[in-house]
Amino acid sequence: MPQINILFIGFCAVVVPVYWLIPDGWRRAFLSLTSTAFLLYMDPISFALLFTLTGAVFFFSRNYKSDRIDLAVIMLLFSTICVIRFTQLIQRLQGEIHLLALVGFGFYALKLTHYFIEQRSGSFRKHRFIDFYSYMLFFPTIMVGPIHKFDEFLQSNRRIRWNDQTFADGLERILYGYAKVVVIANWLIAIKIPTFAAGLHSQYPASSVIVDSAVYGFHLYFAFAGLSDIAIGLSRLLGYQMCENFDYPFLSRNIGEFWQSWHMSLSSWCRQYIFIPFFAKSRNLPVALLLTMICIGLWHEFSIRYLLWGIYHASGILLWRWYQKHLRPVLPLPNGRIWQGIGNGFSVAFTFSFVILGFTIPRSSSFKEIINNFQIMISG
């Protein structure tokens, strides 16, 4: 990831001080120019793709207002996501991703879609192309999110002032982020724990599968949460407030709460632009939920394993909703703080187990391996 690259760190070390030293009126243009220069240096082809889509969405969001144009633009963005994800999958199988855009385009496309839909509906106050351009190419979040909203970005633009505490908070957040990525995810979880647990594979195959799934899940969490911390912290160094992406998801008491605290900006986007519109038209909750979770799964990776992962979590949410509606009201649950604490502890443990077992699906390389891993866990 570029955020761990020494070049990116040096780039930020130069940009941030200059950003605060120049006059207020120049900062937005300076940020746009530096973001452009960085992307051009890293990957000119990716920049050309992102710039073309940015200009097209800005133009069509203001002109030729019709349902056909709206559908054409949305389908263009959707088909581009599919092509990018498929290309990303092929290059990952070959062992290398060549285009920078393949890494961050998923975030970029969701921001474009959000902007087009809300601009068409008249949700935004009057603004210029430079406002939209600086939002789309805001370099702290372009690669790993969070998927912040345009109106919130404009609001931050108007409130930018130097603040010692905000700057210190940003530095602290960046430090936490690098600690999560480098120390916890890439050293402790990816190297030390697998080495320590290597003996389980032959003696305790079921435990080995569970440990491997837990390692995969925790590595994914600490790596992605750490990168989000870096992005949020760097944004604060520039005076911007970004939305949070994770809120202790492994301590969730149910699977619904888990998806309100895991990759929160993506979950919020999918709820607003996929689940709510589809449910409003179909009035079919299971299908709307299944479609939403499948989209979340395929957004992560265009593959069978992430398709199944989305279905797995959709099934879990539907079962939890059925329990809440039909079973919990008739269960004789004891009252009192102690029993409530025990119940909450059991809920957290049950949800944690469901989530960790679910990571068996995306960490497996094929459908056959998924079935084999679950058979091993069931047989013990």
Helices (H) and strands (E) in the chain, counts: 19, 0
Whole-model pTM: value is 0.88
Residues 30 and 44 in one domain: yes
Are the CB atoms for 360 and 374 separated by under 8 Å? yes
State how many domains the chain has. Answer: 3
What residue has token string 């593959």?
Answer: 303
Domain closes at, from 209, 237, 265? 237
User: Does 242 map to a domain?
Assistant: no
Residues 154 and 168 in one domain: no
> Does 168 share its domain with 129?
no
The whole-angstrom separation of Cα 206 and Cα 200 is: 9
158, 178, 196 - which closes a domain: 158
Residue 91 tokens read as: 């290059």
* Amino acid identity, position 124: F
- Residue 47 tokens, joined: 């920049």
The answer on 113 and 53 residing in a single domain is yes
How many residues can be counted in the chain?
380
Question: Is residue 327 in some structural domain?
Answer: yes
**In a shared domain, residues 290 and 196:** no
Looking at the fold, whether 256 and 322 belong to one and the same domain comes out as: yes
33 lies in the same domain as 146: yes
Burial of 26 (0-12, 13-18, 19+ CB in 10 A): exposed
Give DSSP secondary structure letters for 157-175. HHT----HHHHHHHHHHHH
* Judgement on whether residues 229 and 111 belong to the same structural domain of the protein: no
207 and 97 in a common domain: no
Q: Tell me, yes or no, whether 273 and 345 share the same domain.
A: yes
Q: What are phi and psi of 159, to 5 degrees?
A: -105, 10
Domain with 331 in it: 249-379
Question: Which DSSP letter does residue 273 get?
Answer: I
Produce one character per residue of 356-376: b if its CB has 16 or more CB atoms within 10 Å, e if not: bbbbbbbbbeeeeebeebeeb
306 within domain boundaries: yes
What is the distance between the alpha carbons of residues 28 and 14, in angstroms, rounded to a whole number? 16
Residue 244 resides in a domain:
no
Q: Note whether 154 and 173 are same-domain residues.
A: no
Answer yes or no: are the C-beta atoms of 176 and 228 closer than 8 Å: no
Q: Are residues 61 and 120 in contact, defined by beta-carbon separation less than 8 angstroms?
A: yes
The answer to whether residue 266 is domain-embedded is: yes
Which of 158, 173, 198 represents a domain boundary (last residue)?
158
In a domain, 59, yes or no: yes
131 shares its domain with 19: yes
Both structure tokens of 352:
């944690």
In order along its 380 residues, the chain shows pLDDT tens digits of 555 678 788 888 899 999 999 988 888 889 889 888 888 887 787 788 888 889 988 998 888 777 788 788 888 887 777 777 676 666 665 655 555 555 567 788 889 999 999 988 888 888 889 889 999 988 888 878 788 899 888 888 887 888 899 999 999 999 999 999 999 999 999 888 887 777 666 677 788 888 889 999 999 999 999 999 999 999 999 999 898 999 999 999 999 999 999 999 999 999 999 999 999 999 899 999 999 999 999 888 888 899 999 999 999 999 999 988 888 777 777 777 887 888 889 999 999 999 999 999 999 888 888 999 888 888 76
The vertex-122 CA angle with 64 and 292, nearest 5°, equals 90
Nearest to 145 by CA among 245, 293, 278, 284: 245
